């Protein structure tokens, strides 16, 4: 089956990319979604706070998703739900499996929008038993918000990522007692507003530099042993204490879901765990683009939509105008910067650079060095949980052979 | 109450294969399993190694059944559709002192009748396993060593036995045994009763207790816990052989092996226990990493997807116990390593003796075949499309990491032995065994169990007993 554009994933990234590609002139396209309904993880994010940046209003996850679903529907874009992509080839063949069978699209362009998955408890090497009552935060969120089952009544949460924070509040509102949130780092990886609204407002303690060292209970969880960790993140002997609970939620990081990408032999950035892309979100294979959490884990869906629109427009340009010669310049992460995305920038075009800092502090200066051009931007505070960005004009890149972003302390 | 011919106590690999072998005769057999599923003990959590047979002392039952069992494994796995691979094993030595031990193993293996053993030098070793650690100088190569999925074999054997008329009672913890005029009356902890002419004790860690119910106390069962780390399939080709180290002054080593499902498995530790436990101790991770590094370098421990422990029963005789106790009670106890390898040879021995005692004739209707657990994955695209056209549920993917369809989940719940728990579905289909460790598929499998088994949400368990998934109620 021929298709000009195949978009893999019908979450916020895939939907926004589809709308943008349509508006840029592409008609022959399909969005492949493995779940029963498009909308991705937003479907279970019934809390508010979505859309503040983009729409200047606070929406719930399903409301935010519906905005884009409405746009998709208005344009008559085909969304194939309950369809699972089993393989992607470097030649842009997309093999799918659904109740209709196994079939393959031969695509002119492909947009990867598969999102991410939660890092599992199993990867953490926690001692103890493997009873019922251990959930990743997102799984618990699905049980509560989609199915109306409350997993347990007495909860310990490991990891202060945003889903963990949201679930601390959610479980509390449904009548569970959240004993504490443990965070192995010296700072939370979640948004500041979530710490205030989900923990502080409910008196839930956040234990920084603490982790779970052991899980107790044979059939259902009966408790956990938590301990303080040292600078190397090793538990400090003598600081262990046991907390009785019947449920443990793990919010210990998100991993871009790049199994298909690996199948297409596309290299991944070890820092972002996503593809290497240029400003148009084009990967190493011309005509394959990536956007959203499959590319790098975002803090706000608003930025996912923005990035997906870049990819959607670029895919349309590729389809309608053909491949373009690009003169690329690499970006690099300087002092206190974890990564910069995109990893390369096209000369002659404006570009917005996204980055995350390594540690939190107040009074920061973002410095961008691009050849003879040097720029500085002030920030009141920076934190690893919050993605930041700066925009460079095409004129800023004329003599650059590398663009370096650093975040320094003021003064 | 009708008295059946044989009650097998214990639904581990030995119990399940024994039931299957018994059904090759006109023998009416029931398996009584204390847990809510088969393969609940050591058969669930072990190394999955089909040993070549050079380890067991010459003349021991272990040596005899190991070598016999190794030769039988490929055949039974083919019949039952269980993945098996003769990947070969390597025992590696570091320096002259350890190399001397390889000679001992080689000699012992030859006396035990292990074919094709050879000692190889470092150069040849590096061709076989490029990640050999620097200090490794030589190895014993046993090409007949293999790997099998231990719970897969148990489930398939039980399923095939049931398809041929055997019955399985789960949640049947034998609490008392009373001798009757024609055998034994067994009562469960919940008051169920079964009368059988002959009882076979395959109770693993519980074998000493079960023996005591019949008044037999001639062996003692000890418990030894083995802890493991399991790595993502992305690391599955790190080693192609099963790699052991010779026991050293620093203690018994661990093994590093690919699994038949493509993961990399590292372990086990060895912890003597007074009380049954499948908890992983805190120091286990460091121990496993250190001992594995004696043999192989640059093991990608960053790709661990889970860790687990299995509790193994061993006997104070340090050999298998395969003998009659009280009248019409047969004990298959202390089946420690190489128990998995030996299991079919042991089962045949038991079935042969019982058939003789019962005067049972051969069952000509017995069919040894069972559809592979992974039958769908083994089909071509055209064949898969034909299957999906007949039942669209096979087109609907539930587990993303292991690509398991709704149809396969339903099969696991509907086929013998039926899955009734999340772990039951996982062991039969691999749904939830991948890198996300059931994060995505668990709620969907959960609802399929509710639908298929008529359960309410708060009745679904992870693994039977009180392992309820939902304990906070409905919202």
Reported as a single tens digit per residue, the pLDDT across B150-200 is: 999 999 999 999 999 999 999 999 999 999 999 999 999 999 999 999 999
CA distance B74 to A153: 49
| B471–A34 CB contact, under 8 Å | no
Note whether A125 contacts B278, CB cutoff 8 Å: no
Residues of A in contact with B393 (CB under 8 A): 99
- Choose the closest CB to B395 out of A98, A133, A213: A98
Q: What is the pLDDT along chain A (411 residues), one digit of tens a residue?
A: 999 999 999 999 999 999 999 999 999 999 999 999 999 999 999 999 999 999 999 999 999 999 999 999 999 999 999 999 999 999 999 999 999 999 999 999 999 999 999 999 999 999 999 999 999 999 999 999 999 999 999 999 999 999 999 999 999 999 999 999 999 999 888 888 999 999 999 999 999 999 999 999 999 999 999 999 999 999 999 999 999 999 999 999 999 999 999 999 999 999 999 999 999 999 999 999 999 999 999 999 999 999 999 999 999 999 999 998 999 999 999 999 999 999 999 999 999 999 999 988 899 999 999 999 999 999 999 998 889 999 999 999 999 999 999 999 987
- Determine contact: B457 vs chain A, CB below 8 A: yes
- CB contacts, 8 Å: A148 with chain B: 474-475
- Residues in chain B closer than 8 A to A152 (CB atoms): 470-472
A 206-225 residues with CB < 8 A to B: 213-214, 219-220
Enumerate the residues of chain A whose CB falls inside 8 A of the CB of residue B230.
Answer: 122
Q: Please report the pLDDT score of residue B183 as a whole number.
A: 96
Nearest to A149 among B308, B400, B470 (CB): B470
Contact B304 A129 (CB under 8 A): no
Residue B475's pLDDT is 87
Report the pLDDT value the prediction gives residue A358, as an integer from 0 to 100.
Answer: 93
pLDDT of B213 above 70:
yes
Of residues B475 and A272, more confidence is placed in A272
Residue B250, pLDDT score: 64
Restricting to A residues 168-197, those with a Cβ less than 8 Å away from any Cβ of B are 174-176
Please check whether residue B198 is in contact with residue B183, taking contact to mean a CB–CB distance below 8 angstroms.
yes
Closest B-chain CA to A98: B395
The interface predicted TM-score of the complex, written ipTM, equals: 0.94
Quick one: CATH architecture of A1-118+254-324?
A: 3-Layer(bba) Sandwich (3.50)
Considering only residues 409 to 448 of chain B, which have any Cβ-Cβ distance to chain A shorter than 8 Å? 435-440, 442-443, 447
| Closest chain B C-alpha to A33 CA, distance in angstroms | 11
* B284 at interface of A, judged by CB pairs closer than 8 A: yes
Reported confidence tier of residue B435, pLDDT bands at 50, 70, 90: confident
> Do the two domains A120-252 and A326-411 of this chain adopt the same fold?
no
- Mind listing the pLDDT tens digit for each residue in B70-128? 999 999 999 999 999 999 999 999 999 999 999 999 999 999 999 999 999 999 999 99
By Cβ distance, the residue of B282, B385, B467 closest to A220 is B467
Q: Tell me the CATH number of domain A326-411, given options 1.10.10, 3.40.50, 2.70.170, 2.60.40.
A: 2.60.40
Q: Is B388 on the interface with A (CB under 8 A)?
A: yes
Instruction: Give pLDDT tens digits for B257-271.
Output: 999 999 999 999 999
Q: Which pLDDT score is estimated for B268?
A: 97
User: Nearest 5 degrees, angle CA B107-CA B112-CA B117?
Assistant: 55
- Name the residue of chain B whose CA is nearest to A149's CA: B474
CB contact under 8 A, B472 and A149: yes
Share of chain B above pLDDT 90, in %: 96
For A248, the closest chain B residue by CA position comes to B469
B128 and A CB contact within 8 Å? no
Residue B392 touches partner A, C-beta closer than 8 Å: yes
Q: Which residue of B has its CA nearest to A174?
A: B475
Please indicate if any CB of chain B lies within 8 Å of the CB of A338.
no
What domains are there in chain B, each with its CATH number? 3-43+151-220+317-358 (3.50.50.60), 89-143+222-315 (3.30.9.10), 381-459 (1.10.10)
Facing A102 at nearest CB: one of B279, B384, B471: B384
Tell whether A37 is within 8 A of chain B (Cβ).
no
Q: Which of A86, A122, A214 sits opposite B403 (nearest CB)?
A: A86
In chain A, whose CA is at the least distance from the CA of B471? A152
Q: Do B306 and A120 touch (CB under 8 A)?
A: yes
**In B, which residues are within 8 Å of A97 by CB distance?**
388, 395, 397, 405
Interchain proximity B389–A101, CB inside 8 Å = yes
Which residue in B has a C-alpha nearest to residue A177's C-alpha? B472
CATH class belonging to A120-252: alpha beta
A128 at interface of B, judged by CB pairs closer than 8 A: yes
What's the pLDDT band for B252 if we cut at 50, 70, 90? confident
Has residue B251 got a pLDDT over 80? no
Q: Give me the pLDDT at residue A305, please.
A: 98
- Give the residue numbers of B marked as catalytic: 51
To the nearest whole angstrom, how far is the Cα of B258 from the nearest Cα of chain A?
A: 18
Residue A411: the pLDDT is: 75
Minimum Cα–Cα distance from A247: chain B residue: B471
For B471, the closest of A84, A100, A152 (CB atoms) is A152
What was the pLDDT predicted at B249? Answer: 67
Section B244-249 average pLDDT: 84
Q: What is the mean pLDDT of residues B327-351?
A: 97
Q: How far lies B319's CA from each of A64, B64, B65, B137, in Å? A: 66, 11, 11, 32
Close Cβ partners of A216 (under 8 Å, ≥ 6 residues apart)? A128, A129, A222, A223, A224, A225, A242
* pLDDT for position A191: 87
Shortest Cα distance, chain B CAs vs residue A407, angstroms: 29
| pLDDT score recorded for residue A196 | 96
With beta carbons under 8 A apart, name residues in chain A contacting B471.
133, 151-153, 220, 246-247
Interface size, chain A vs chain B, as Cβ–Cβ contacts under 8 Å: 140
Written in H, E and C, the secondary structure of chain A is CEEEEEEECCCHHHHHHHHHHHHCCCCCEEEECCCCCCCHHHHHCCCCCECHHHHCCCECHHHHHHHHHHHHHHCCCEEECCCEEEEECCCCEEEEEECCEEEEEEEEEEEECCCEEECCHHHHCCEECCCECEEEHHHHHHHHHHHCECCCCEEEEECCCHHHHHHHHHHHHCCCEEEEEEECCCCCCCCHHHHHHHHHHHCCCEEECEEEEEEECCCECCEEEEEEECCCCCECCCCCEEEECCEEEECCCEEECCHHHHHCCCCECCCCCCECCCCCCECCCCCEEECHHHCCCCCCHHHHHHHHHHHHHHHHHHHHHCCCCCCEEEEEECCCEEEEECCEEECCCCEEEEEEECCCEEEEEEEEEECCEEEEEEEEEECCCCCEEEEECHHHHCCCCEEEEEEEECC
Domain ranges of chain A: 1-118+254-324, 120-252, 326-411
Mutate to test the interface with A, among B310, B438, B439 (most CBs of A within 10 A): B439
For chain A, what percent of residues have pLDDT higher than 90?
94
On whether the CB atoms of residues B39 and B423 are closer than 8 A, the answer is no
Of B388, B401, B472, the CB nearest to A176: B472
Question: Which residue in the set B439, B471, B475 is minimally distant from A138, CB to CB?
Answer: B439
């Amino acid at each position: 089956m021929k298709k000009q554009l195949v978009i893999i994933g019908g979450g916020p990234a895939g939907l926004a990319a589809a709308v943008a590609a349509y508006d840029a002139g592409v008609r022959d396209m399909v969005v492949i979604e493995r779940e029963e309904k498009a909308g991705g993880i937003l479907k279970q994010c019934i809390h508010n706070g979505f859309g503040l940046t983009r729409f200047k209003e606070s929406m719930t996850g399903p409301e935010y998703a519906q905005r884009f679903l409405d746009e998709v529907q208005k344009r008559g874009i085909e969304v194939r739900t309950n369809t699972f992509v089993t393989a992607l080839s470097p030649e842009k063949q997309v093999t799918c499996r659904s109740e209709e069978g196994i079939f393959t699209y031969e695509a002119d362009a492909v947009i990867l929008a598969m999102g991410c998955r939660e890092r599992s408890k199993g990867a953490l090497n926690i001692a103890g038993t493997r009873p019922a009552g251990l959930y990743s935060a997102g799984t618990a969120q699905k049980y509560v918000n989609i199915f109306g089952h409350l997993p347990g009544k007495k909860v310990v949460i490991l990891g202060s990522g945003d889903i963990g924070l949201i679930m601390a509040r959610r479980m509390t509102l449904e009548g569970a007692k959240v004993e504490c949130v443990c965070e192995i780092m010296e700072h939370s990886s979640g948004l500041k507003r979530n710490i205030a609204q989900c923990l502080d407002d409910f008196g839930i303690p956040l234990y920084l530099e603490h982790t779970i060292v052991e899980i107790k209970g044979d059939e259902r969880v009966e408790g956990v042993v938590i301990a303080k960790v040292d600078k190397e993140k090793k538990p400090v002997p003598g600081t262990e204490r046991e907390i009785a609970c019947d449920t443990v939620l793990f919010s210990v990081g998100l991993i871009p879901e790049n199994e298909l990408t690996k199948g297409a032999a596309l290299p991944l950035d070890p820092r972002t765990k996503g593809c290497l892309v240029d400003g148009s979100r084009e990967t190493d294979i011309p005509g394959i683009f990536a956007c959203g959490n499959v590319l790098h884990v975002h803090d706000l869906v608003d930025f996912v939509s923005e990035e997906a629109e870049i990819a959607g427009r670029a895919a349309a340009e590729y389809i309608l105008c053909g491949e373009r010669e690009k003169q690329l310049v690499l970006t690099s992460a300087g002092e206190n910067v974890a990564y910069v995305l995109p990893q390369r920038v096209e000369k002659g075009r404006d570009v917005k650079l996204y980055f995350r800092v390594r540690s939190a502090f107040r009074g920061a200066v973002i410095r961008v060095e691009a050849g003879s051009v040097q720029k500085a931007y002030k920030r009141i505070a920076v934190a690893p949980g919050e993605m930041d960005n700066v925009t460079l004009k095409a004129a800023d890149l004329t003599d650059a052979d590398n663009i370096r972003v650093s975040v320094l302390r003021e003064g | 109450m009708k008295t059946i011919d044989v009650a097998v106590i214990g639904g581990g690999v030995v119990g399940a294969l024994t039931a299957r072998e018994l059904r090759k005769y006109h023998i009416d057999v029931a398996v009584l399993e204390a847990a809510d599923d088969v393969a609940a003990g050591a058969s669930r959590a072990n190394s999955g190694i089909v040993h070549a047979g050079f380890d067991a002392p010459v003349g021991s039952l272990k040596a005899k059944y190991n070598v016999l069992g190794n030769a039988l494994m490929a055949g039974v796995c083919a019949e039952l559709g269980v993945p098996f691979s003769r990947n070969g094993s390597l025992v590696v030595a570091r320096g002259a002192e350890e190399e001397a031990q390889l000679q001992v193993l080689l000699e012992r293996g030859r006396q035990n009748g292990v074919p094709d053993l050879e000692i190889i030098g470092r150069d040849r070793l590096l061709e076989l396993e490029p990640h050999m650690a620097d200090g490794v100088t030589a190895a014993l190569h046993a090409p007949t060593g293999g790997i099998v999925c231990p719970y897969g074999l148990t489930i398939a054997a039980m399923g095939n036995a049931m398809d041929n008329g055997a019955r399985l009672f789960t949640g049947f913890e034998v609490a008392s045994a009373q001798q009757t005029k024609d055998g034994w009356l067994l009562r469960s902890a919940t008051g169920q009763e079964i009368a059988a002419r002959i009882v076979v004790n395959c109770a693993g860690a519980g074998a000493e207790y079960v023996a005591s119910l019949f008044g037999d106390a001639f062996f003692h069962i000890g418990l030894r816990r083995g802890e493991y780390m399991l790595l993502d399939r992305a690391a599955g080709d790190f080693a192609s052989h099963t790699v052991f180290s010779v026991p050293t002054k620093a203690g018994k080593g661990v093994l590093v092996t690919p699994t038949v499902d493509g993961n990399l498995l590292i372990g086990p530790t060895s912890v003597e226990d007074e009380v049954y436990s499948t908890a992983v101790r805190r120091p286990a991770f460091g121990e496993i990493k250190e001992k594995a590094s004696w043999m192989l370098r640059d093991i990608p421990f960053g790709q661990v997807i889970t860790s687990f422990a299995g509790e193994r029963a061993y006997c104070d005789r340090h050999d298998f116990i395969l003998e009659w106790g009280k009248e019409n009670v047969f004990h298959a106890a202390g089946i420690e390593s190489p128990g998995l390898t030996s299991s079919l040879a042991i089962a045949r021995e038991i079935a042969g003796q019982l058939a003789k005692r019962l005067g049972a004739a051969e069952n000509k209707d017995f069919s040894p075949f069972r559809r592979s657990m992974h039958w769908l994955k083994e089909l071509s695209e055209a064949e898969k499309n034909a299957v999906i056209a007949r039942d669209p549920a096979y087109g609907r993917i539930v587990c993303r990491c292991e690509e398991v369809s709704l149809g396969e989940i339903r099969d696991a719940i509907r086929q013998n032995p039926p899955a009734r728990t999340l772990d039951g579905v996982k062991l039969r289909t691999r749904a939830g065994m991948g890198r996300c460790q059931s994060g995505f598929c668990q709620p969907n499998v959960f609802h399929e169990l509710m639908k298929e088994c008529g359960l309410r949400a708060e009745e679904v368990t992870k693994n039977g007993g009180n392992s309820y998934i939902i304990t906070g109620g409905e919202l």
